[in-house]
């Protein structure tokens, strides 16, 4: 009996014109796919699959599957083509029909990326203003370091760090996300002017958070991390990291919906760097198009991650800009909706160039007369 179904977009194209209209737009983004892999996994772990060369062929292959696999495959096929509504964050509307940049504002003294340089309120205020001016759609404020081996942060200390940053970002009119897994921090942040939750535990760490998110109706990012307790990086053992992260996010999404969180308020993040080796991270990034089949917008947080250093000369976090841009470009090609980054101006510039290339590709063949 088939236990799980996975629809992998394989061949990405610059637009439907490149395939005479025979391409699928992924998640309402500017990414398009022509060929797909239909992968089935049995209860005993046996995996089988086939390559489907056209969207019409995929529809026919799904129609031949027995239920419940057929129903699940049809649901994922619909999800791949789902157009996501914009995020309404205070007075700001964040459209998801092109990649949007989320700027990271870490107000922790032991931040892996900048060594705590944004703890000073004026420095944090200046950094937030610069990110907004450079084109950040959202500012993501974090008051707890989640790097491997980081010291534990107590809730009251996290609140003390985060709230002033929320207040000065709110005064700028920013769309504000709060990177926290604690209900008390989120509640205080929402009261201070934040609009969105970014929970690295996928609402598992603090049992109060899921009800708070449902009651407040704020958008929420659910991220994959193998650890359920204090250490998010624990228990990172995988037989097949792509399918296991997919299954985790599917269940996290279903759990959130069952708790009363609206589908259009959920964003999913595969959790690059959290309890995953270099090889596992690379596999997930190469499989990003698959995650559109879950039916929610996708966020990619790969900026300055250690994998970049591991692939080059073990550069420190502040020397990983080029690798961060490469990973952001890979995410844009896969149809990722939100890019969570430290280097906002550079990423926005890369996004704008990518957007120009994609716009041009959508019209390259439109003026050609028929043969």
Any idea which residues carry the catalytic annotation?
305, 340
Alpha-carbon separation of residue 127 from 83, 131, 359 (angstroms): 33, 6, 31
Sign for the CA dihedral angle at 184, 189, 195, 198 comes to negative
Distance CA 123, CA 109 (A): 13
Lookup: tokens for 214: 């449902």
Burial class (CB in 10 A: 0-12, 13-18, 19+), 23: buried
Distance CA 138, CA 350 (A): 17
Cβ-Cβ contacts under 8 Å for 299 (sequence gap 6 or more): 102, 221, 223, 267, 268, 269, 336, 337, 338, 339, 340
Distance CA 291, CA 336 (A): 9
Q: Are strands 92-94 and 32-42 parallel, antiparallel or unpaired?
A: unpaired
Distance CA 75, CA 91 (A): 33
Instruction: List residues bridging with 178 in a β-sheet.
Output: 141, 197
Q: Are strands 176-179 and 47-52 parallel, antiparallel or unpaired?
A: unpaired
Under DSSP, the state recorded for 147 is S
Lookup: tokens for 110: 């032991």
Residue keyed to tokens 């700028």: 172
Rg (Cα) of the chain, in Å, rounded?
A: 20
> Is the CB of residue 158 less than 8 Å from the CB of residue 143?
yes
Phi/psi of residue 212, nearest 5 degrees: -65, -45
Burial class (CB in 10 A: 0-12, 13-18, 19+), 18: middle
- The alpha carbon of residue 219 and the mean position of all alpha carbons in its chain are separated, in whole angstroms, by 13
């Amino acid at each position: 009996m088939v236990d799980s179904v996975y629809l992998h977009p394989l061949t990405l194209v610059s637009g439907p014109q490149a395939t005479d209209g025979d391409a699928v737009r992924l998640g309402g983004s500017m990414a398009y796919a022509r060929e797909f892999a239909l992968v089935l996994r049995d209860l005993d772990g046996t995996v089988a699959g086939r390559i489907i060369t056209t969207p019409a062929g995929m529809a026919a292959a799904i129609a031949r599957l027995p239920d419940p696999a057929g129903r699940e495959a049809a649901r994922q096929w619909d999800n791949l083509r789902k157009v996501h509504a914009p995020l309404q964050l205070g007075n700001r509307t964040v459209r998801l029909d092109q990649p949007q940049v989320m700027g990271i504002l870490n107000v922790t003294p032991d931040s892996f990326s900048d060594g705590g340089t944004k703890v000073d309120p004026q420095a944090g205020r200046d950094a937030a203003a610069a990110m907004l001016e450079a084109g950040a759609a959202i500012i993501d404020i974090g008051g707890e370091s989640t790097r491997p081996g980081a010291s534990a942060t107590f809730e009251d200390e996290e609140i003390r760090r985060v709230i002033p940053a929320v207040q000065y970002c709110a005064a700028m009119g920013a769309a504000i996300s709060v990177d926290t897994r604690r209900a008390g921090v989120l509640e205080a942040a929402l009261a201070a002017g934040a609009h969105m939750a970014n929970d690295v535990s996928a609402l598992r760490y603090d049992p109060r958070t899921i009800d708070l998110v449902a009651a407040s109706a704020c958008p929420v990012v659910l991220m994959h991390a193998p650890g359920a307790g204090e250490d998010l990086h624990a228990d990172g053992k995988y037989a097949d990291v792509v399918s296991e992260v997919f299954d985790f996010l599917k269940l996290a999404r279903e759990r959130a919906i069952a708790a009363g969180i609206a589908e259009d308020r959920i964003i999913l993040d595969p959790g690059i760097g959290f309890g995953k080796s270099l090889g596992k991270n690379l596999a997930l990034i190469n499989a990003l198009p698959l995650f559109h089949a879950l039916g929610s917008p996708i966020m990619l947080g790969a900026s300055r991650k250690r994998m970049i250093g591991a692939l080059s000369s073990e550069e420190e976090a502040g020397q990983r800009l080029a690798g961060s841009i490469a990973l952001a470009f890979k995410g844009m090609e896969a149809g990722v909706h939100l890019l969570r980054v430290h280097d906002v101006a550079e990423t926005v510039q890369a996004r704008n160039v990518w957007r120009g290339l994609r716009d041009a590709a959508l019209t390259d063949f439109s003026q050609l007369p028929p043969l």
